[in-house]
Amino acid sequence: MPELPEVEITARLLDRELAGREIESVAAPGINALKTFAPPLGALEGQHVAAVRRRGKNLILESDGGLVLLIHLMSAGRLQLFDKRAGPRDRTSRLLVRLAGEAGRDPAELRLREFGSKQAAWVKLLEITELEGEEALAKLGPEAWPDPPAGEELRKLLAVPRPLHALLRDQRVIAGIGRSWVDEILWEARLSPFKRGSDLDEAELEVLREAIVGTLGRALAHYEDTLSLPIPDKLPMPLLVHRHEGQPCPRCGTTLEAVHFEDYVIAYCPAEQTEGRVLKDRRMSRLLR
């Protein structure tokens, strides 16, 4: 499930490899993935990649001709670079960007692939002037990393009576955190996932901010050390708490517990985050703030 660190490392590695390269052709075999029709994909042909970057969990590929591909991987997408073209039977392909061969470099194919049965990943081709007004970006809150709001600004941002676990995953509040990293951040901050944003005191806000910056930054540093192109199908996420329920807390040794929801799981250390209380059912989680 790609979140800020996974999308950021994808953007960095692709930017280093693709900047300056000529786009030979673009195709969208996953026809439902392409959400725009003007300009047409063919408008990118002959242009060069200017940069690949990230905003929230979105990837942005800019061309030197003033166009941008805005890509959201959703829960199961990957943006991978290969030196061979995808075969017609590759059912995971949603978008193919072919890079021309040039002096000292072979042709390559940038492929948006998606695993699993759902088609949720999407792509938009926009004029660069339309990018900031595009709804997927216009509604995003400030970036969670490297420099999220601090002090009074952060207090105002989180001053709503919603559980931290939901609040921090809301991209309109703060951009980049999802179901995996939120568990790690709250564990790092020793805060209950069910505590309300409006109940945080000044010291807790500061600890939370440090945990956000530190946790996401360490994940990114780990990826810089371990990943290269193409980004692997299965990301080696360095998680300590998320999906580790039933195992000892890496800090205090208490057994990590989990609350199961329909489509996700909250993992936490009861000794350090919920004053020893163990809740496994979401109806009970209302009691645990």
- Where does this chain touch Zn ion (CB under 5 A) — which range of 65-73, 79-87, 97-105, 266-274? 266-274
Q: Give the pair of three-digit tokens for residue 2.
A: 């790609």
Closest CB to Zn ion among residues 269, 288: 269
d(CA 57, CA 3): 6
The correct pick among 221, 252, 265, 284 for binding Zn ion (CB under 5 A) is 252
Site size for Zn ion (CB under 5 A): 6
Nearer to Zn ion, 145 or 194 (CB): 194
- Residue 110: strand pairing partners: 81, 97
Q: Which stretch binds Zn ion (CB under 5 A): 18-26, 57-65, 197-205, 264-272?
A: 264-272
Q: What is the DSSP string of the chain?
A: ---HHHHHHHHHHHHHHHTTPBEEEEE-SSGGGB---SS-GGGGTT-BEEEEEEETTEEEEEETTSEEEEEE-TTTEEEEEESSPPPTT-TTEEEEEEEPPBTTB--EEEEEEE-SS----EEEEEEGGGTTTSHHHHT---BSSSS---HHHHHHHH-SSSBHHHHTT-TTTSBS--HHHHHHHHHHTT--TTSBGGG--HHHHHHHHHHHHHHHHHHHHHHHHH--SSPPSS-----SSTT-TTSBPTTT-PBPEEEE-SS-EEEE-HHHHSTT----SHHHHTT--
Is 249 a binding residue for Zn ion by CB under 5 A? The answer is yes
Do the beta carbons of residue 21 and residue 100 sit within 8 Å? Answer: yes
Please identify, among the stretches 7-15, 94-102, 251-259, 279-287, the one whose residues bind Zn ion according to the rule CB under 5 A: 251-259
Closest separation in Å from C-beta 255 to Zn ion = 9
Q: Which range in 7-15, 73-81, 151-159, 252-260 contacts Zn ion by CB under 5 A?
A: 252-260
Stretch near Zn ion under the rule CB under 5 A, chosen from 40-48, 105-113, 131-139, 271-279: 271-279
Which residue of 155, 218, 272, 277 would you call a contact of Zn ion, by CB under 5 A?
A: 272
With vertex at residue 184, the alpha carbon angle to CA 179 and CA 186, rounded to the nearest 5 degrees, is 95
For Zn ion, the closer CB: 146 or 248: 248
Q: Is residue 186 close enough to count as binding Zn ion by CB under 5 A?
A: no
- Is residue 277 part of the contact set for Zn ion (CB under 5 A)? no
Q: Is residue 210 near Zn ion by the rule CB under 5 A?
A: no
Least distance (Å) from Zn ion to the CB of residue 215? 15
Of positions 243, 251, 277, 289, contacts Zn ion by CB under 5 A? 251
Asked if residue 269 binds Zn ion (CB under 5 A), the reply is yes
For the chain, give the number of residues. 289
Closest approach, Cβ 251 to Zn ion, in A, equals 5
Q: For Zn ion, give the closer residue by CB, 155 or 251.
A: 251
Closest distance to Zn ion from the beta carbon of 165 (Å): 17
* Binding region for Zn ion (CB under 5 A): 249, 251-252, 254, 269, 272
